[in-house]
Structure 1
Amino acid sequence: MVFPEIKISDAAQVGRMLGASWESASTPFIRLHDDVAISHVGVLEIPMQLMGQNIIAGGIHAVCTHPEYRRRGYYREIMKEVLDYCNSRYDTLVLTTAQPELYQPFGFRVVKEHIFIAKSDSVGSQGFRLIDTSDPNDVKLLHRLLETREPVSNIVGIVNEKAVFCVNEGRNPLYYAPDLDVIICMEIKDTQLQLFDVVGTRICTLAEILERINIRIQEVAIYFSPDCLNADVQALSHILDGDSLLMVRGNFAAEGEKFMLPRSARC
């Protein structure tokens, strides 16, 4: 009801089918009216690498109140409970939003993000196949790589996280390169490659990815810091989807660096 454009029920069902449900990963804070949930804030744990250091961040997600019960203070009450819960557990909280004004009173601040553009003139050979999320062997492969993945970036990267990845990317095409043993989250629009995540025990270079795409690529847009890709890039200030602002509360070691929190890890 609150987020119809993202079809969150469908995304959550995909996460369950992939064996990484939000119900098992999220701690819900809820207000009820006659046993019906009317306001909710969820807290997820997101294992991250920031500037080469591993941390567990708290991810604030699915913040919503039933339209008929808004402006009664439920959201503020729940957020106070959430912060009391998180303050003793996490030094860093993250969320993404199109409405930063809702979170600034609670100590959250917007952190600038960047997209990275690389020029190319590449035509490779066919080296990827689509992951079949209905195939148990492919689901097992996905779990193995998510559990053992190397961070896609030493500036801001994700390690051993499944629930947010499966909800965010489970409905999108996932490409597997058997010889590299990596799963790539990518889209191709005309001659531009859009690169959203690389999941593997070794992060391959951009050249290795391009060598396995059998159409001409003239530009690559990278939606995470490409420090591990061995690529010549130009960094540009960017807001994902035009309104998905990253906000943090507490320590965030990568603040001031050029990076983007991967789409697969945004909540």
Structure 2
Amino acid sequence: MIADYSKDKALFEKCITFVDEIFPGCKQFALKGMHYGASWSDASIPFVIEDKGKIVAHVGVLPLTVVLNGNIHQTAAIHAVGVNPIDRGKGYFKQLMNEVMDYVKQNYESSFLMTQKPYLFRNYPYTIMLPEYDFVLKESGFSSKKGDLRYLNLDNSDDFALLNKLLPKSLPLSNQFSFNGKNAITLFILNSMYGKIGYSDRLGTIVLHQVIDNTLYLREIVSQNEQKLSDIIEIIPESFNKVVLQFCPDRFLNENEYTAILARPENCVMVSPEFKFNEKYFRYPEVYSC
């Protein structure tokens, strides 16, 4: 049944402890996020089944605002789905999922989930969004650097304030598919707090990136102003000879400027029938994984 964290002060502790038993490390992850204002209990709507005061099954619903096909779209992510191992086979998964299906259909334009086990949801109206693509910039010969990129320290009050100033009013990463809104900020912080959050004072822009085997992987670009991809590339201090965008590239590249290659995301995205992506190449930006 649907529950409410605000009406039961002990509920979050019970839920996160249960989820941590199914997905080890989740509790530490959630509590660290709360330290940075990314509150699981504020973002997620819990559906639970209890037995003798103990949670035996949980499904979370995370409302999200996305840009989809150029329009604002209200969706919901179904996440942290789990049943106590000793209570499996009792119909709890089906009971909660049916309740969640009714809830999201009544309250959102669509829903989706991310999983490594899509077969678990074969009885529900979700299809896998495969293939996903990465986008390789055709340009080569990257050399000179004008790098002023530094890395934010979320424990520094000025850096933390800067992050929270930029995120709410940033431009969409893509007009084809991207995230915005309060809960998207929560996901951004949760998924980036253990990594490096690059920031350019000159551009007023946050860049999430990695350089692996001489390849620059761009994961997210956060700015309140239009930026050229060439300017973003110039601030990266590492050496590389290849650039890959891991999000829909429409705001930064024309189709003749990149090559689409198959991506290998850790989880597959499954979407409800109402989630209709109309473009040629889909990519879920993994900093918003849930």
Q: TM-score, with normalisation over the residues of structure 2?
A: 0.86
Cα contact 1:60–1:94 (8 A) shared by 2: yes
Runs of 4+ in structure 1 over 6 Å off: none
Q: Which residue of 1 aligns with 2:193?
A: 170
Aligned to 1:142: 163
How many positions carry a matched residue from both structures?
263
Q: Which residue of structure 2 aligns with residue 180 of structure 1?
A: 203
Equivalent position of 1:208 in the other structure: 231
1:253 Cα deviation after fit: 3.1
Q: Name the CA distance, whole Å, in 2 between partners of 1:142 and 1:102.
A: 37
For 1:20, the equivalent position in structure 2 comes to: 38
Kept after mapping to 2: 8 A contact 1:100/1:245: yes
Among 203, 206, 227, the alignment partner of 2:250 is 227
Distance across 2 between alignment mates of 1:204 and 1:67 = 49
Corresponding residue for 1:125?
A: 146
Hey, what does 1:189 align to over in structure 2?
A: 212
Shift of 1:203: 4.5
Which one has a larger percent helix, Structure 1 or Structure 2? Answer: 2
Q: Percent identity over the alignment?
A: 28
Q: Do 1:239 and 1:245's aligned partners in 2 also have CA atoms closer than 8 Å?
A: no
| Larger Rg, first or second structure (1 or 2) | 2
1:203–1:229 Cα contact (<8 Å) kept: no
- Maintained 8 Å contact 1:205/1:228: no
SS at match of 2:65: strand
1:127-170 CA-to-partner distances (Å, cap 9, x unmatched) read 21101010122122212222111110111011122122222222
One-letter amino acid of the structure 2 residue matched with residue 144 of structure 1 = K
Task: Report the TM-score, using the length of structure 1 for normalisation.
Answer: 0.93
- 1:190 Cα shift? 3.2
* Structure 1 match to 2:261: 236
Q: Deviation string for 1:207-241 (max 9, x for gaps)?
A: 11111123322111211011112362111222313
Report if the CA contact (8 A) 2:214-2:242 is conserved: yes
Q: Which residue of 2 aligns with 1:85?
A: 103
Deviation at 1:255, TM superposition (A): 4.7
Residue 33 of structure 1 pairs with residue 51 of structure 2: yes
Correspondence 1:198 to 2:226: no
* Structure (1 or 2) with the greater strand fraction: 1
Hey, what does 2:178 align to over in structure 1?
157
Amino acid at match of 2:134: I
Give 3-state SS (helix, strand or coil) of 1:86's partner.
helix
Within 1, Cα distance between the matches of 2:124 and 2:237? 49
Does residue 94 of the first structure (1) align with residue 112 of the second (2)? yes
SS at match of 1:173: coil
Q: Aligned in 2, Cα 1:60/1:203: closer, same or farther, shift over 3 Å? A: farther
- Per-residue Cα deviation, 1:36-57 (whole angstroms, up to 9, x for no partner): 2221100011110011100111
SS of 1:57's partner is strand
Provide the C-alpha distance between the structure 2 equivalents of 1:209 and 1:256, rounded to a whole number of angstroms. Answer: 25
Counterpart of 2:74 in structure 1 is 56
Judge which range, 137-146 or 70-79, deviates more.
137-146
Q: Are the aligned partners of 1:152 and 1:203 in contact in 2 as well (CA < 8 Å)?
A: no
The gaps in structure 2 that reach 5 residues or longer are: 1-20
Structure 1 distance, partners of 2:279, 2:249, is 16
AA aligned to 1:117 is V
**In structure 2, C-alpha distance between the alignment counterparts of 1:252 and 1:85, rounded to whole Å:** 16
User: 5+ unaligned residues in a row in structure 1: which ranges?
Assistant: none
Please give the secondary structure, in 2, of the residue aligned with 1:185: strand
Whole-Å Cα distance in 2 between the matches of residues 250 and 202 of structure 1? 34
Are residues 1:111 and 2:111 paired?
Answer: no
